[in-house]
Structure 1
């Protein structure tokens, strides 16, 4: 079986539960080879929002060091298929948008852009300044998919976990990984009755 090679970048923006859920799904897939890279502040925010030690929680997944350019996804010739940065801080957005490959995470994103492979950016900040919006626009023009962490509720979402899955499911869609995390628009069970509309 040929595996789909996917990089997950985790930054110190709020939103670590999204990353935790994405890793939970991907690490169980036999058809996915997974690499993980972190920003300097990702472990601190993970501890605050998810509890525990990030590195210990996702072991034995390989977590590459911030400057470990021996990581396979640091080069386009290695043929990694896709990357998601989730959550993505505005600082990381700015560096990637302007080609500043100062860490393995930003280098991996740069590789995805130059190789024209899927790069999913899940920004987590509010409100967004003009600077943020311009950097996100630059990334979109370069081919990245900008997917803000904005849960949907038309699937009759009732729990925080279900809300998280509406984002993680859409990220998986754009990484090319099949899943059943969310209810799709057009699902007969989601049709609104005349009574509910009135």
Structure 2
């Protein structure tokens, strides 16, 4: 069974990370981490999810031997992104990301701030050179979304494409 970590950091855009978690197929073992700031908006229950405390750096997903396949941090705060870029592993989100890097596993970051500062862009560039996929929640209009739900599905569908998870969440380019 494929193992995927979904983490949310920061409060703005947490709904995208939660929705991505909920839309993952039940054939995937889902691990979930949320930062303290994102807990404010997390009051939903979902199925087939193993939730980890962000302060538990001894959790199974903090070890490369556990065998996680990929990790998506959506949204990814600039603080979390900077910590990952500098190798700081002071919580489970940043530790799990460090494991993804050292194990050469797929790590996708969805930075949520706009505009990006030169420092943030430098951190993203550094991470991209290490193989991290930088995939902010950016819209494309060819799939002709009509409402917020369809816009969110487009973004999540693109993330699932990167995670190699089949989906029909958005209208593809024809």
Q: Rg bigger for which structure?
A: 1
Runs of 4+ with deviation above 4 angstroms: none
* Distance apart, 1:30 and its partner CA: 2.8
1:73 equivalent in alignment to 2:61? yes
Q: Which moved more, 1:93-102 or 1:12-21?
A: 12-21
Q: What are the Cα deviations for residues 45-69 of structure 1, in whole angstroms up to 9, with x where unaligned?
A: x2xxxxxxx1x41355321112213
User: Cα distance, 1:20 vs. partner?
Assistant: 2.1
* TM-score (structure 2 length as normaliser): 0.94
Counterpart of 1:92 in 2: which secondary structure?
helix
Task: Structure 1 unaligned segments of length 5 or more: list them.
Answer: 47-53, 187-198
SS at match of 2:44: helix
State the Cα distance separating 1:70 from its structure 2 match. 3.2
For residues 95 and 123 of structure 1, do their structure 2 counterparts lie closer, same or farther at Cα, with a shift above 3 Å needed? same
- CA distance in 2: counterparts of 1:11 and 1:89, whole angstroms: 6
Q: Which among 34, 40, 46 is matched to residue 38 of structure 1?
A: 34
Aligned partner (choices 113, 126, 142) of residue 114 of structure 2: 126
What is the aligned length? 173
CA contact (8 A) 1:13 1:124 kept: no
* Root mean square deviation, CA, Å: 1.3
Matches within 5 A, 1:181-196: 181-186=169-174
Are the counterparts in 1 of residues 22 and 46 from structure 2 also a CA contact under 8 Å? Answer: no
